Amino acid sequence: MTSPPTFDAPFRARMLDLFRWRRDVRSFRPDPVPAALFHDLLEAANLAPSVGLSQPWRFVTVDDPARRAAVRANFLASNAASLEAFEGDRAARYARLKLAGLDEAPCHFAVFCETDPEQGHGLGRRTMPETTAYSAVMAVHTLWLAARVHGLGLGWVSILDPVAVQAALDVPAEWRFIGYFCLGVPRDETDVPELERLGWEVRRPAEQRLLRR
């Protein structure tokens, strides 16, 4: 039996620093992400919890220029449609937001989940089949934190048509799209979310998100 490590006070403080400095990055430097480092990040993501130990996440690297261009066109169309949903000052604020780093990030990848994987034998999914998607998101967050430790930033591009992304990347039809991600060295460093700095929204205290029964 392996003895558990000791997570002392300095470690816990540094861990909170990691959480505070994990940002949704939109501006990147051109420095490439070494293949060995990306592999290490995938191995870290593979340690994430998953329902029934199903490991339903599926990572798809996107290096082909034509496929990247298709995703970029998808984003531009989806972003224009999203802008139409806002009016007045809110629309003006939305138009000023930088919502993707597709042109700058050296590394692109998408994450899907296999909605009914054989692995795990269905444990924990009978009443809540969506837990496979939740598990894939846990893998994304694990990779996000691991990337920050190595000085890398991650940007989640969510303003996309999932069906078009699936077609552009030519993945199995039964996979569910989770997100498209840009990875690289951040051009700017801050512990304040960009949406908060630009006045779009503010982070509320945890107590406001707690319901006691």
**74-99 pLDDT tens trace:** 999 999 999 898 999 888 888 888 87
Q: Quick one: pLDDT at residue 93? A: 85
Q: What is the pTM of this model?
A: 0.93
Strands 153-157 and 57-61: unpaired
Tokens (6 digits) for 135: 């598990």
Question: Where in the chain are the domains?
Answer: 25-201
pLDDT at 71: 97
Q: What is the pLDDT of residue 99?
A: 78
Residues of the chain with pLDDT under 50: none
Helices 162-169 and 65-83: crossing angle in degrees, nearest 10, is 170
Q: What is the pLDDT of residues 191-200, one digit of tens each?
A: 888 888 888 8
HEC states along the chain?
A: CCCCCCCCHHHHHHHHHHHHHCCECCCECCCCCCHHHHHHHHHHHCCCCCHHHCCCEEEEECCCHHHHHHHHHHHHHHHHHHHCCCCHHHHHHHHHCCCCCCCCCCEEEEEEEECCCCCCCCCCCCCCCCHHHHHHHHHHHHHHHHHHHCCCEEEEECCCCHHHHHHHHCCCCCEEEEEEEEEECECCCCCCCHHHHCCCCCCCCHHHHCCCC
Query: Domain 25-201 carries which CATH code?
Result: 3.40.109.10
8 A C-beta contact, residue 35 and residue 61? no
Choose among 97, 78, 95, 76: nearest CA to 86: 95
CB-count exposure of residue 95 (10 Å: 0-12, 13-18, 19+): exposed
